């Protein structure tokens, strides 16, 4: 029995025996972690599973309480695929937990990096924007923003018409639309391994089988991709051209050509999720630059480079694909946030966004240099050199457990993201940590690494 299962079993027994009656409040995440002698990540995972079983409810500001009549009380267990999906996004819940002094494993940059980009006076003097801020508008999204997105892609030698774009509530909403429209229960897709764990959760909810393709320093392992494409006959391959999450690796020209050749040969589409498309100085080759949206569906977002609070992104693809996705978007959510899209368009128009991107890119370069020097001093390496984008993948020495490493960090109030969470093949992956270079400059982090590598945390 795992630590998570042990906590779930204990609390479930208390609920069923009446020791925790209906409406009783469970201990906080911090207290539960202390009581059971586990990390806060493990406590979060256990609580999430209790919620998915219907035994516990979670309310903003009220914590976790025993449910009045959960699924289990009615003899209706939560579907297994939903329980699995909740389990796989426990790291996301941990990222929302603010009880860490350092958040080296977080997916977002520090708030200080985003200060000053959003204007204090909404829309400035743009009367057109103010007049256009009411109503739903086109299901493809605000035309002014789509015009600007298309122009930015064309500046990178990628032919794109505004009608080939549909806006979304960020990249995760975009991925959800693609999964809903093009996949059915029982279908098979390929994903990067290690890869983007929220995508794995979406695929589990959709009951879609996913198979991992090894991610190398220059992109997907082409030999592994071709072998699995031949045996699995996937409908889609979800990958990231540039600054992949969690490894930070980008595709070189040979790899990008190989991915597109495999897509042509084996008849699958490639979904390229690139949250850093707007950052200047990108290293690597974008698939859309070679494919021009023949077999590529591109997903972009402003959440990583502007603000997660906007929840604004987009899909760029062939016209027939965008039309179908816009229809699904209209059915499911009517439209995306027109207000956010107007505000973003205004920031692009007055060049506030471009100036902000230049500052962020400079900060990334400096943070990457500092981190690389610090890791070299400890004899540690990363899968790919830290650089474009926020992430790099710290490779731990053989024989170490990244989960135990993260638990040791939690005891020092440091949030780390263990590679196991991002792994498709957990048994075969090399232990590692996703590091957000924007958050790794604190000397306490390097001191923790030095202390832990000296003997604490080695798996038995």
pLDDT digits (tens, 9 = 90+) for 200-257: 999 999 999 999 999 999 999 999 999 999 999 999 999 999 999 999 999 999 999 9
114 compared with 416, residue with greater pLDDT? 416
Under CATH, which number does the domain 3-78 receive?
Answer: 1.10.10.10
Looking at residue 5, what is its pLDDT?
79
Residues 78, 85: Cα–Cα separation, whole Å:
11
The pTM of the full predicted model, rounded to 2 decimals, is 0.79
**Architecture, CATH, for domain 355-453:** Alpha-Beta Complex (3.90)
Domain ranges of the chain: 3-78, 127-349, 355-453
Looking at residue 457, what is its pLDDT?
42
**Architecture, CATH, for domain 127-349:** 3-Layer(aba) Sandwich (3.40)
Looking at residue 95, what is its pLDDT?
52
13 compared with 323, residue with greater pLDDT? 323
Looking at residue 72, what is its pLDDT?
45
């Amino acid at each position: 029995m795992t630590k998570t299962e042990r906590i779930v079993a204990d609390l479930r027994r208390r609920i069923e025996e009446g020791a925790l009656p209906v409406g009783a409040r469970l201990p906080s995440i911090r207290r539960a972690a202390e009581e059971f002698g586990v990390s806060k990540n493990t406590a979060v995972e256990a609580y999430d599973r209790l919620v998915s079983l219907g035994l516990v409810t979670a309310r903003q500001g009220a914590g976790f309480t025993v449910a009045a009549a959960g699924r289990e009380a009615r003899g209706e267990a939560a579907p297994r695929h939903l329980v699995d999906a909740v389990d796989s996004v426990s790291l996301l819940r941990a990222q929302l937990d603010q009880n860490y002094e350092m958040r080296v494993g977080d997916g977002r940059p520090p708030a200080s990096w985003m200060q000053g980009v959003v204007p204090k006076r909404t829309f400035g003097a743009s009367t057109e924007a103010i007049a256009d801020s009411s109503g739903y508008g086109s299901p493809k999204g605000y035309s002014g923003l789509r015009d600007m997105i298309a122009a930015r892609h064309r500046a990178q030698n990628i032919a794109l018409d505004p009608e080939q774009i549909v806006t979304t509530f960020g990249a995760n909403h975009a991925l959800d639309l693609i999964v809903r429209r093009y996949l059915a229960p029982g279908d098979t897709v390929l994903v990067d391994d290690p890869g983007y764990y929220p995508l794995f959760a979406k695929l589990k909810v959709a009951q879609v089988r996913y198979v991992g393709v090894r991610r190398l320093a220059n992109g997907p392992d082409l030999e592994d991709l071709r072998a699995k494409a031949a045996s699995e006959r996937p409908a889609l391959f979800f990958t990231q051209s540039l600054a992949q999450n969690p490894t930070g690796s980008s595709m070189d020209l040979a790899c990008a050509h190989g991915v597109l050749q495999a897509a042509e040969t084996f008849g699958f589409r490639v979904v390229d999720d690139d949250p850093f498309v707007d950052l200047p100085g990108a290293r690597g080759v974008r698939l859309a630059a070679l494919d021009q949206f023949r077999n590529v569906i591109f997903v972009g977002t402003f959440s990583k480079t502007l603000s997660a609070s906007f929840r604004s992104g987009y899909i760029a693809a062939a016209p027939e694909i965008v039309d179908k996705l816009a229809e699904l978007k209209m059915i499911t959510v009517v439209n995306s946030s027109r207000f956010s899209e107007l505000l973003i368009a205004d920031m692009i128009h007055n060049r506030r966004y471009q100036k902000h991107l230049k500052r962020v890119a400079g900060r990334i370069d400096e943070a990457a240099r500092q981190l690389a020097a610090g890791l070299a001093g400890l004899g540690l390496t990363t899968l790919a050199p830290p650089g474009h984008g926020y992430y790099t993948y710290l490779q731990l020495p053989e024989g170490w457990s990244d989960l135990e490493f993260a638990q040791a960090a939690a005891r020092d109030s440091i949030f780390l993201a263990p590679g196991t969470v991002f792994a498709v093949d957990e048994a075969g992956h090399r232990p590692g940590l996703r590091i957000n270079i924007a958050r790794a400059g604190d000397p306490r982090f390097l001191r923790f690494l030095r202390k832990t590598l000296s003997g604490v945390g080695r798996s038995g």
